[in-house]
Amino acid sequence: QVQLAESGGGSVQAGGSLRLSCAASGYTYWPYCMGWFRQAPGKKREGVAAINTNGRTIYADSVKGRFTISQDYAVNTLYLQMNSLKPEDTALYYCAADLYRLCPYSDYVPPEPFFVYWGQGTQVTVSS
């Protein structure tokens, strides 16, 4: 059973940085496509970034140039480096994975139903 565990959330002031981590376990091969999503209070969950096993990355327009998704196979961890944070980045952040399929789109993060496995989330709060 694949398990994903996020960490690294917290409270920061606008303009600050945070690095989220997602520790993955319970699989034989690293998932083909992994992603980060977020959900703000009263809003739908939205895709933030995704990455394939070949290293190709995809970002939502709202975070391009500020967030960087990466993965380290040696420590079975997915990361999201978030710089120049804004109050509108405040949300519960989730990581997600699909074991067998590459992220299918080049211009946007795959929708929620594409991903089979999900973590429990880590809270990010950005104050102005």
User: pLDDT for 65-119, tens place per residue?
Assistant: 999 999 999 999 999 999 999 999 999 999 999 999 999 988 899 999 999 999 9
Output DSSP code: residue 89: G
What pLDDT was estimated at residue 67?
A: 98
Structure tokens that stand for 17 in this block: 């940085």
